Structure 1
Amino acid sequence: MRHLVEKGLVFGGLILVDSPVLVERYRRALKHLTGKESKLEDFHVDISGFSPEIGDELGDMHYLNHPGFNRQFILLTTDQKNAPLLHSAFSTSRSVLRRFIEANETELFALTARDAVAGELVNSAFAADAPARLFDIRKVTVEADTTQGTVAAADRLAGLIERFKTEPDAWWDDKLIAEMIEMAGVTGDLTRNPVRLRAMSFEQDDFWTSHFGGVYLFRSVPQPAAIVAGDKHDLGPLPVPEVLDLQDRTGIARFLAVNELAEPVVTGRSSETVALLRQKMDFIAADVVGTEGTLPQEVTRRDLRVLARRHAGQLPPEWDGLAALLAWAEEGARWPRITSDHPAYFYTLKARRTPAAELVNMLLAELAPRDVRQVFLCHKELFYRLYRTWPEAKQAFVAEILSSEYRMDEAGTRETIFGPEDAMQEPASLAEGPWGQVTPSGADERDIMDLVGPWGVLRRR
């Protein structure tokens, strides 16, 4: 992982903890949550408070997430909301933590000024001992307090204050008054610094989990399904109408189509279209040449295209499919029919702007693993797993390209690949409107390229 670390592509964006006060608070919270202790004087943390340095010290990279369920967290500062989440077992965990921090930012700012906030993401199911148990997960509730129990003490004090104000003889109740004074010593002045955190729960209809080899669960769409990375038969019966695995390409294409979850990355001829297709082809060429061990230590885009021509007979059908599409976009050649049984099919798709867009792009990245940039952007766990298997030259090339073309302009790169990502509006009913621009294998086709681009339209029967 050396090249990724040097380019800031792994462990980048983490929060440095080097203040003795914050270090001591973290140690206290770590002991409070896990019973473990750290002697490090400085380290980095992600959005959940996980530290790779402390994980290395303890010999346990899952010390805040042992069973892969009900992830624990430690907050030292609200700045953690912008940090990544490492070793994620559920695709929704980071967004839940971020939304919790943003919704309680004022309260958390006040609390973390005095102590660390520790807590847990509590699933509505408490274990993943069988695949069917994943379907018991309906929501995640965030439970949090300081290591000194400030929030619980504040709730207790609020109740005592209410008794003091409403009970006729409370003025003469020395025990009640003494308890209020004791609680106020922990919470401070509640009238000036409220410390009550909002009880927050988040619906979990659609998510990915690393359990059981990787499972994508879509329940909010008109035709729900589970898509698994391994053999679907190994999971046994699941309480969902359709179970697919990654080898069922036509089934996945049809699932995306009928639920209107994906659309083509290319809808017309333009310089942006040409650049995007060339970039995808370059990554595929680098994948092939790099896997063979013939990729130079330093290589430019131009060098890659020379290598692609030199290895033309070895390039995979994914490259050929995109090359045919490039010829249509750049030279006016006849447009290709790329159906779901073509290896290039999922390289030509991106998520539509729906609440499940992030999950769909994650799925598409796993279906198009040679496009390492999309894998890096959409499925970090898969990217790091693949990266460890690559030759040194390919690792160096990928790290350099990602650093120069993504890190330099993250927003611009994402907009080029996925389109604008401004505030998402609630979508219209998923049943409304025609499905355009992709053609699952076996679906009806009609040539209306001028209206919808090179894929045609899927007509529902």
Structure 2
Amino acid sequence: MKRLIEKGLMFGGLIEVASPALVERYNRALEHLTGKRTALDDFHIDISGYSPEVGDELGDHLYLNHAGVNRQFILLTTEQKRAPLLNAKFSTSRGILRQFIETNEAQLFALTARDAVAGELVNSVFAMESPARLFDIQRVVVEADTTKGTVRQAEKLAELVNRFKREEDAWFDDVLIAEMIGLAQETGDVTRNPVRLEQMEFQQENFWTAHFGGVYLFRGVKHQALISMGERIDPGTIPIEVSLAAQDRSQIARFLQANDLVEPIVKARGVDAAAILRQKMDFIVVDAAQEAGVDLRGATRADIRALARKNTRRLPQEYHTLNALVNWAENRGRWPEIDSDNPAYFYTLRASDHADRDLVNQLLADLAPKDVRQLFICHKELFYRLYAGWSETKKSYVADFLEREYLVDKAGARHALFGHDAPLDDDRAVPQEDLIARVGPWGAVGAAKPAKRSGPWGG
């Protein structure tokens, strides 16, 4: 993992907490939420206030996310909105936190000037005993206040002010006036500068969770389904009919098509489909080279393609299928028939333009993990987990590629790959040498096959 950190591919964009004042504010919030404190003088935090160094010190990397369900957060600055979310357990958490910060940015800027803001993403589930509990998550409410209760006190002061204006004898109520003065000393003039955070709640219909080996739940679509990347979940234990596992490729393909969630890359507008597919082919060659023990350190794209030419017969089916598709796209060669049983099938798709495109692109990355660029952009948790098991030569090649061809223009790369509004990814490529020395290597249904259709996507 050290290589990834050095290149800004892991823990990039974290916020440094180094001043004694900020460390003390963090400790007040940490103690307020968890009863714990850190003895560190400086560390780094993500959008939620989680710090890998503090997690290492406490021996608990879920210290702000007990049981991985109701994520707590600590805000020291509104700049945290640009930071990544580490150790994510739900795909919606970072978006919720970012929207909360942006909606309340002016208020949070004023509040964090003097204190930390601590809060929680609250839902009705406090433990994940079984997959059925996922269906109890209907909405997430954001609760937040400073460690001194400034927002709560401001609301109380506002009520007292209204009472003072409303009651005829309020000028003679010394207790009321004294209470107002005391609260105003803490909150300031709430009549001119109201201290109020927007009450926000978010419906949770379609999402991914890291629980149970990784599960995608789609219930806000016409044809509902639960898709598990781990063990198959018994459909008799959940309140929807369709429960799929990763090996149910035909059923997953039918689900994606029936809900219009994907589109073929070669049919997408405004993209260089052949270039995208050729890059996926290169990644497949790299994966095959790893298995063959070939040293790829320092290899260029030309080297990879020369290697592919010399070892064409030993390359997997995914390579040959994508090559046939590129031949059709560039030279109007023979139209290949690619159905969902073909191991290259999910490599040929991307999410169509809809509200859950980021979630669908993450699912496609899960189903086509040899495309390491999409895996890194759309599913970092899985990328880091797989990276730990790669050979040193593949680690070196992938890290160099992402640094050279992704970090230099992330927005452009995401737009070229995914179009529409590309997935959010604000991890900045800033090497953090002091962080490297202190962090450890953690990650961080039996439906019939669809009928054949004309064109590559026959089923």
Q: Residue 141 of structure 1 aligns to a residue in which SS? A: strand
d(CA) in 1 for partners of 2:274, 2:47: 37
Contact 1:34 1:64 in 2 (8 A): yes
- 1:263 aligned partner, one-letter code: E
Higher relative contact order (CA 8 A, sep 6+): 2
Provide the secondary structure at the position in 2 that maps to 1:220: coil
Determine the C-alpha separation between the residues in 2 that align with 1:270 and 1:326: 16
Residue 433 of structure 2 corresponds to none
Whether contact under 8 Å (1:287, 1:370) holds in the other structure is: yes
Task: Kindly state the Cα deviation for residue 173 of structure 1 after the two structures are TM-superposed.
Answer: 1.1
Verify: 1:311 aligned to 2:311, yes or no: yes
Residue 184 (structure 1) aligns with: 184
TM-score (norm 1): 0.91
Question: Amino acid of the residue matched to residue 204 of structure 1?
Answer: Q
Query: What are the within-5 Å matches in structure 2 for residues 437-456 of structure 1?
Result: 442-447=449-454, 454-455=456-457
> In the alignment, is the contact (CA less than 8 A) between 2:299 and 2:397 conserved in 1?
yes
* In 2: Cα distance, 1:363 partner to 1:265 partner: 16
Give the equivalent residue in structure 2 for 1:81: 81
CA distance in 2, matches of 1:374, 1:125: 32
Query: Alpha-carbon deviation of 1:422?
Result: 7.4
How much does 1:168 deviate?
A: 2.0
Does the 8 Å CA contact 1:26/1:74 hold for their aligned counterparts? yes
Give runs of aligned pairs for residues 311-390 of structure 1, distance below 5 A: 311-390=311-390
Alpha-carbon displacement from aligned partner over 1:377-415 (angstroms, at most 9, x marks no partner): 111111111000001111111011011111111111111
1:274 to partner: Cα distance:
2.1
Match of 1:54 in 2: 54
Taking the aligned partners of 1:359 and 1:72, their CA distance within structure 2 comes to: 23
The answer to whether the 8 Å contact 1:47/1:97 transfers is yes
Match runs of 1:57-136 below 5 Å: 57-136=57-136
Assess if the C-alpha contact under 8 Å between 1:229 and 1:245 holds in 2.
Answer: yes
Distance 1:260 1:203, change over 3 A: same
Residue segments in structure 1 that go unaligned for 5+ positions in a row: 424-439
**Alpha-carbon displacement from aligned partner over 1:135-168 (angstroms, at most 9, x marks no partner):** 0100000000000000110111111111111122
Partners of 2:138 and 2:156 in 1: CA distance: 30
Alignment RMSD (CA, Å): 2.0
- Give the secondary-structure state (helix, strand or coil) at the position aligned to 2:68: coil
Judging changes above 3 Å, is the alpha-carbon distance between structure 1 residues 236 and 190 closer, same or farther for their aligned structure 2 residues?
A: same
Aligned counterparts of 1:236 and 1:422: Cα–Cα separation in 2: 37
1:286–1:394 contact (8 Å) kept in structure 2 = yes
Give the conservation status (yes or no) of the 8 Å contact 1:55–1:61.
yes
Q: SS at the partner of 1:201?
A: strand
- Closer, same or farther in 2 for the Cα pair 1:268/1:5, shift >3 Å? closer
SS in 1 for 2:66: coil
Where does structure 2 lack aligned partners over 5 or more consecutive residues? Answer: 424-446
Is the CA contact (8 Å cut-off) linking 1:341 and 1:441 kept in structure 2? no
Per the alignment, residue 428 of structure 1 pairs with none
Query: What percentage of aligned pairs have identical amino acids?
Result: 60
The answer as to 2:223 corresponding to 1:216 is: no
Count of aligned residue pairs for this structure pair: 437
Matches within 5 A, 1:240-251: 240-251=240-251
TM-score relative to the length of structure 2: 0.91
- Do the aligned partners of 1:268 and 1:329 also contact (CA within 8 Å) in 2? no
Q: Quick check: 1:165 aligned with 2:156? A: no
Pairwise CA distance, 1:125: 2.3
